[in-house]
Structure 1
Amino acid sequence: MKRILIVAAHPDDEVLGCFGTVARLISEGYEAYTLILGEGITSRADKRNPKLHQEALETLHRNIHEANNSIGIKKVFIENFPDNRFDSVDLLDIIKVITSIKEEIQPQIIFTHYPHDLNIDHQITYQAVLTATRPMSNECVREIYAFEVLSSTEWNYPLSFSPDLYYDITNTLPLKVKAMEHYHGELRDFPHPRSLEGIELVATYWGMRTGISKAEAFKTVRMLR
């Protein structure tokens, strides 16, 4: 059985980035896990103080499990690196967390962030994933794909997302949208990209470009055959 690991910086990145595809792969017999590195929420205050946000963080953790359970993710790993402050943490600490989870579940496939996102945490997550999966002879990860995150990937002008892999998610887009509904605190009203309408429009856009109804797009980082 092939195992997938999603490595996301923040709660809801995993849904926005690849849940249509992962839901499809789970239905085809894959086993999937999610690692969320950042605590979320705390960057929205003037000063980071997780204790003051404790109730909100507990709610967010419930949202994480509800969203991931809804598509059949086998297990979710949640870390607490400071939200939008990954650059204040030693990169090695993030790498060690990814390495530990990777060694525990032995995934063949990783989905993670695009390196040119506007969000600094996304950039560092990508760098940490590459370091944690260096192509040594005993490395279990054979495929790495970078996903887009609405309201980050497309906002880093003039750098643009340049996918080369597309999955047909016509049948699983409703599961992705339903999973995102669990993150009600992260949703915004249309025309904000991080809206339910925005998610559906982007799936339609990638589908239109590839001759199918709905699609999710990825940039291949590494693929060993």
Structure 2
Amino acid sequence: MNKKILIVAAHPDDEILGCGGTVARMVREGYEAYTLILGEGITSRDEVRNRAKRDAEICELRKQIYKATKIIGVKDVFIYDFPDNRFDTVPLLDIVKVVEKVKSEIQPDIIFTHYEHDLNIDHQITYQAVITATRPMVHESVNTIYSFEVLSSTEWKYPQNYSPNVFVDISDTLDLKIRAMTEYTSELCQYPHPRSIEGIKMKAQLRAMEAGFEFAEAFMLIRNLI
């Protein structure tokens, strides 16, 4: 049986920015990959709430999710609508139960999720929900958890304390990560914003220099049960 990966992300595009190249590589190596996106990911940008406009934008963003995740080889996507940049207004238990529900259905061996001290509050709470939902008890399927970094969130936290200890060579899959990210037309920015094509390449080169690769993604290993 193939090992299974579950990406648990707060917002659309976090899954590509955080681990898109690595997951694409692992799919090529025979893993099954799934994605859970917890938040609708867009309404915090509205100055004035316009339901029709909001619903149309969310619908378009969901189309982008499916296109982007298909490019990196994700088998299925689970999308929820917790409020953008307002996860702290939702009981943590509600988010935990969603993670538990999807986890129970997929039975993943590996989870990729956010870094616990990101600038973005939704990222912080997603991490907390994952750790709560995967307590290492008997019959727990998840034995490995990685935290990823997200451009324009992780590096903007001060003081910076993201210290990766796992580096994955994505020299052969960086192109898929970039192709996937270009599907997020509403999320991609122009350089010198970190969440740009140039920013993605530069980060991959920076992490690669730390590991002796050409292009890399870097993670913090949170748990590994052997």
Aligned Cα root-mean-square deviation (Å) = 1.0
Q: Distance in 2 between matches of 1:46 and 1:33?
A: 33
**Other-structure match for 2:157:** 156
Q: 2:216 matched to which residue of 1?
A: 215
1:107 paired residue number: 108
- Cα separation, 2, equivalents of 1:43 and 1:185: 14
CA distance in 2, matches of 1:102, 1:157: 32
> Alpha-carbon deviation of 1:137?
1.2
Report the Cα distance in structure 1 between the residues aligned to 2:36 and 2:51, rounded to whole angstroms.
Answer: 20
| Structure 1 residue identity aligned to 2:180 | A
Letter of the aligned partner of 2:139 in structure 1?
A: N
Matches within 5 A, 1:12-161: 12-46=13-47, 50-161=51-162
TM-score, L = length of structure 2: 0.98
Q: Which residue of 1 aligns with 2:189?
A: 188
Where 2:25 maps in the other structure, the secondary structure is helix
The 3 A distance-change label for structure 1 pair 149 and 70 is same
Q: Report the TM-score when normalising by structure 1.
A: 0.98
Letter in 1 for 2:87: F
Task: Please give the alpha-carbon distance, in whole angstroms, between the structure 1 residues aligned to 2:123 and 2:16.
Answer: 14
1:209 deviates by 1.1
The AA in structure 2 aligned to 1:186 is E
Separation (CA, whole Å) in 2 of partners of 1:86 and 1:194: 22
Find the residue that maps to 1:40 and give its secondary structure: coil
> 1:159-178, aligned counterparts within 5 Å?
159-178=160-179
| Secondary structure of 1:170's aligned partner | coil
Identity level (%)? 61
Of 91-100 and 44-53, more deviation after overlay is shown by: 44-53
* SS at 1:216 equivalent: strand
Aligned 8 A contact 1:42 1:50 in 2: no
Runs of 4+ in structure 1 over 4 Å off: 47-51
Distance (whole Å) between structure 2 residues aligned to residue 49 and residue 137 of structure 1: 47
Q: Tell whether the 8 Å contact from 2:21 to 2:72 is kept in structure 1 after alignment.
A: no
| Unaligned runs of at least 5 residues, structure 2 | none
**C-alpha separation in 1, matches of 2:49 and 2:75:** 31
Letter in 2 for 1:165: V
Q: In the aligned structure 2, how far is the partner of 1:163 from the partner of 1:98?
A: 24
Is contact 2:23-2:33 (8 Å) kept?
yes
Counterpart CA distance in 1 for 2:185 and 2:50 is 22
Deviation at 1:160, TM superposition (A): 2.2
1:12–1:180 contact (8 Å) kept in structure 2: yes
- Structure 1 segments unaligned to the other structure (5+ residues): none
From the superposition, tell whether residues 89 and 195 of structure 1 become closer, same or farther in structure 2 (CA, over 3 Å): same
Q: What is the CA–CA distance in structure 2 between the aligned matches of 1:167 and 1:123, rounded to whole Å?
A: 23
